[in-house]
């Protein structure tokens, strides 16, 4: 942590809500290199030898422990692809906090592509929080292209919270999940784009085992001239239940293409999708204005609540 400057510490605060070295297992990466790592008795973090990235191995029965693996980039023009693999044993209950903050004050594009794979053992519960944040007033773009792959064994539960609220110019997010019998996946994605930003988010969830279920909900706001494409697909290949929802607010000249899709390959698959795009309802603004807010303040409150 001593190697990190003020900008990097600010980024760390934004993406991982960390002021200092976290408790438990962690790997802190700044400008392309590891600046701190800690393994615990139950959670081992090992650097990969063939490519950039780490393996995180969580022992069977590990409960109430956490892993933090934030990444910060404050050097303009830095581009990196990092492979992180999480092997979660059986009967675990853990919190994994990832995330990337880029501060680009220069003219060259900065890019971090994190490829995360999760192998979640039987009966394990994982809560995964991933936040992306960009800052800096340089002309160089801040680019994040995360890939998340989740492989869930029987009766495992994965709750994912994916947040990208500010400052990332381009993002192409891909999430793939495969679930065995009784496994559950809950995704809450929150996305806000502004300026000339572009964001693509693709989910492909395969419910392969009987009793598996997925609930994939994306809430997004596109402001200014930004563009978003949200592609949420659930494949029901067994007696399963799946739900996808894209709920979006457009403002200014923002544009959104929402493509929720379902594929049922089993007669016992119960799948539902919902999609709604629209501007902020006039009556919502009026209600908050009757409580004393200006129109702009009302708009901010509605957006903040929507993305909370």
Partner 1 sequence: MLELKNITFSADDSGKTSDIIRGISLMIPDDKFIVITGPNGGGKSTLAKIIAGIIKPTDGRLIFNGTDITDMSITERARSGIGFAFQQPVRFKGLTVLDLLRIAAGKNLSVSDACTYLSEVGLCAKDYIRREVNASLSGGELKRIEIATVMARNVKLAVFDEPEAGIDLWSFNNLIRIFENMRKAEQSRTVVVISHQERLLKIADEIIVLSDGQLIKQGPAEDILPEIMSSNYAQTICPKIED
Residues in contact with partner 1 by the rule CB under 8 A = 219, 247, 281, 283-284, 286-295, 301-302, 304-308
Q: Which is nearer to partner 1, 46 or 272 (CB)?
A: 272
Q: Which is nearer to partner 1, 279 or 287 (CB)?
A: 287
CB of 150 to partner 1, least distance (A): 26
CB of 279 to partner 1, least distance (A): 14
Q: Which is nearer to partner 1, 5 or 274 (CB)?
A: 274
Q: How far is CA 165 from CA 79, 130, 133, in A?
A: 21, 11, 7
Strand pairing partners for 129? 97, 161
CB of 261 to partner 1, least distance (A): 23
- The C-alpha angle 254, 247, 18, rounded to 5 degrees, equals 85
| H-helix segments, 103-207 | none
Q: Which is nearer to partner 1, 10 or 301 (CB)?
A: 301
CB of 304 to partner 1, least distance (A): 8
CB of 174 to partner 1, least distance (A): 26
Q: Which is nearer to partner 1, 131 or 190 (CB)?
A: 190
Ramachandran area for residue 282 (φ above 0: left; ψ -120 to 50: alpha; else beta): alpha
CB of 289 to partner 1, least distance (A): 4
- Relative to beta strand 53-58, strand 33-38 is unpaired
CA atoms within 13 A on the CB side of 194: 9
CB of 307 to partner 1, least distance (A): 7
Q: Which is nearer to partner 1, 41 or 291 (CB)?
A: 291
Q: Which is nearer to partner 1, 166 or 219 (CB)?
A: 219
Q: Cα separation of 209 and 206, whole Å?
A: 9
Q: How far is CA 62 from CA 121, 186, 198, 228, in A?
A: 11, 21, 39, 38
CA atoms within 13 A on the CB side of 307: 20
* DSSP SS3 for 237: coil
């Amino acid at each position: 942590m001593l190697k990190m400057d003020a900008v990097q510490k600010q980024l760390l605060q934004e993406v991982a809500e960390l002021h200092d070295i976290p408790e438990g297992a962690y790997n802190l990466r700044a400008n392309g290199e590891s600046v701190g790592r800690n393994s615990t008795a139950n959670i081992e973090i090992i650097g990969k030898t063939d490519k950039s990235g780490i393996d995180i191995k969580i022992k069977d029965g590990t409960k109430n422990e956490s892993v933090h693996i934030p990444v910060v980039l404050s050097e303009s023009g830095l581009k990196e692809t990092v492979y992180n693999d999480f092997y979660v044993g059986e009967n675990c209950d853990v919190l994994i906090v990832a995330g990337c903050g880029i501060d680009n004050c220069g003219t060259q594009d900065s890019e971090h592509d994190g490829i995360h794979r999760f192998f979640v053992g039987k009966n394990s519960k994982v809560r995964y929080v991933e936040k992306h944040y960009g800052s800096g007033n340089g002309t160089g773009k801040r680019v994040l292209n995360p890939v998340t792959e989740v492989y869930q064994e029987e009766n495992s539960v994965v709750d994912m919270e994916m947040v990208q609220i500010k400052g990332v110019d381009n993002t192409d997010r891909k999430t793939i999940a495969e679930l065995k019998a009784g496994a559950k996946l809950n995704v809450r994605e929150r996305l806000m784009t502004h300026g000339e930003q572009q964001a693509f988010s693709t989910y492909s969830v395969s419910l392969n085992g009987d009793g598996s279920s997925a609930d994939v909900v994306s809430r997004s706001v596109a402001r200014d001239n930004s563009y978003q494409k949200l592609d949420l697909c659930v494949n029901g290949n067994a007696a399963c239940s799946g739900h996808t929802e894209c709920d979006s607010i457009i403002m200014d000249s923002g544009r959104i293409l929402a493509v929720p899709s379902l594929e049922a390959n089993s007669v016992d698959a119960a799948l539902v999708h919902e999609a709604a795009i629209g501007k902020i309802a006039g009556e919502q603004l009026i209600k908050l204005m009757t409580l004393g807010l200006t129109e702009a303040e009302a708009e901010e409150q509605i957006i903040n609540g929507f993305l909370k």
